[in-house]
Amino acid sequence: MFGVYRSFSLPDVMHFRNLLVERGIACHVRNYHSASVLGELPFLEVAPELCVLDARDVELARRVIATSGVPQGRGAHDWTCPGCSERLEAQFAQCWRCGAEGPG
């Protein structure tokens, strides 16, 4: 297996997996069930990782991901709500206080 994308965000990894599957690229998500140990073990050992099964698909897979229109690593940083100035952690896509949408 050949890694093409790794993220704290399992939804992002799964979205990119779906894009690759639609293109006929055989792939696998490594560390799918490891979210419960994030913080206990080093990130690189447990973070969800999208892997392709054939080395010939690596460059195409990376191009599909890069040109998907989805910002890679979205939600990777804490953010400030544009509506109410509440400071929110990276995992939140919407402000819990006023409901405004977050970045990405």
Residue-wise pLDDT tens digits, 47-91: 889 999 999 999 999 999 999 877 655 445 678 899 998 888 776
Q: Calculate Rg over the CA atoms of the chain.
A: 16
Distance set, CA 78 to CA 6, 34, 75, 90, 104 (Å)? 19, 22, 7, 4, 12
Q: At what angle do helices 58-66 and 10-22 cross, to 10 degrees?
A: 120
CATH number at 7 reads 3.30.70
* Within-domain flag for 19: yes
- Write down the pLDDT at residue 33: 82
Does a structural domain hold residue 71?
Answer: no
pLDDT confidence band for 9 (50 / 70 / 90): confident
Paired strand residues for 2: 52
Comparing 46 with 67, which gets the higher pLDDT? 67
Q: Buried b / exposed e across 29-66, counting CB within 10 Å, b at 16+?
A: bbbeebeeeeeeeeeeebbbbbbbeeeebeebbeebbe
Q: Are 85 and 60 part of one and the same domain?
A: no
Mean pLDDT of the chain: 84
pLDDT for 36 equals 66
Q: Which residue has the higher pLDDT, 86 or 93?
A: 86
pTM, rounded to two decimals:
0.63
Q: How far apart are the first and last CA of the chain?
A: 29
**Residue 102 belongs to domain spanning:** 76-104
Query: Do 21 and 57 belong to one domain?
Result: yes
